[in-house]
Amino acid sequence: MYNSRISGLGFYVPENVVTNDDLSQVMDTNDEWIQERTGIQERRHVIKGTDTTTSMGVKAAKVAIERAGIDKDEIDFIVFATLSPDYYFPGPGVLVQRDLGIKTVGALDVRNQCSGFIYGVSVADQYIKSGMYKNILVIGSELHSHGLDMTTRGRGVSVIFGDGAGAAVLTREEDASKGILSSHLHSEGQHAEELSLIAPGMGKRWVTDIIEEQDPEDTSYFPYMNGQFVFKNAVVRFSEVIIEGLKVNGLSAEDIDMLIPHQANLRISQFVQKKFGLSNDQVYNNIMNYGNTTAASIPIALTEAWEAGKVNEGDLVVLAAFGSGFTWGSVIIKW
């Protein structure tokens, strides 16, 4: 059985920077209030009519493929993680295949929100381990800004999220001591509505009902988050799944060279960092610059950390995420 390793990384964020002060012009909030609760200073928002979830993913993917040192036609499979696809269907995986001009390989869409990239990497790793594929493109991309309630009513959620994309190429590795050592996935659907976007749902309300109602006060089209409840669950599940991954591989927190947590909230990351006794040099956070980019947050942060020379050959790298679903997971990597 083979291992898989990350052979190429890339990311893309829109040029349009939206600061906390910018948000204070359209809603009752301020820089101090946002930073105290989330650690976020600014985020990127797509300007209408420019980028899409797919186009951002394509831009990140091109960088990752080039850095992997392969031709696009050597990609055997595509995994695309997002909660904000261009269309209700089809998913963005096939749009990436089309826009990159890749041959008719399979394309899989992953809808696991903040844990999407972790789930995508796990799926890709298993395909490579089995020998089915050699090079798999995994993308996490999100365009949140077009679906946020940018008023005081929605400030508890809208100040948190930003747009962007990250990508990784996973490649077959014959050395069993290198690459992805293990991945660990979990879910707890009983809390699904605590972090959710309900409309346009097709269960209790049909599309014809939604069109007929045309209710401008219907907030079900905007994301909802029970912030304190999500925070309490996140710090527990982050810790559990990191410990699980380390234990399976006979490792401990002292072996971690770099932890890349999903950038949900700087306070969550700091709590986990303290629990594991990690220094600032052992944890990479960039939520202050980009906000929460959901499925894109880990590949963006991992790419930045690698570009900055903070991830090097032989390092033990831990990726971990928690989010809507609830879903959570970790990936343990020997770089």
Q: Distance between CA atoms of 295 and 313, rounded to whole angstroms? A: 25
Which one of 112, 233, 265, 292 is the catalytic residue?
292
Q: Distance between CA atoms of 255 and 240, rounded to whole angstroms? A: 17
**Tokens in use for 100?**
């990159």
- What does DSSP assign to residue 205? S
Q: Helical H runs in 130-183?
A: 155-158
Q: Distance between CA atoms of 147 and 234, rounded to whole angstroms? A: 24
Which one of 45, 262, 265, 285 is the catalytic residue?
262
Active site residue 265: no
Q: Helical H runs in 101-145?
A: 116-129
**Tokens in use for 229?**
């409840």
Assess contact for 90 and 62: CB atoms under 8 A. no
- What does DSSP assign to residue 22? H
Active site residue 289: no
Q: Distance between CA atoms of 115 and 187, rounded to whole angstroms? A: 10
The single residue listed with the structure tokens 């890749």 is 102
Q: Distance between CA atoms of 47 and 180, rounded to whole angstroms? A: 37
Q: Distance between CA atoms of 335 and 311, rounded to whole angstroms? A: 8
The residue type of 128 is I
Which one of 114, 135, 144, 285 is the catalytic residue?
114
Active site residue 184: no
Beta 179-187 vs 195-196: how paired, if at all? unpaired
Question: Helices 297-307 & 116-129, crossing angle to 10 degrees?
Answer: 70
Q: Distance between CA atoms of 215 and 28, rounded to whole angstroms? A: 24
Q: Distance between CA atoms of 170 and 4, rounded to whole angstroms? A: 6
Q: Which residues are catalytic?
A: 114, 262, 292
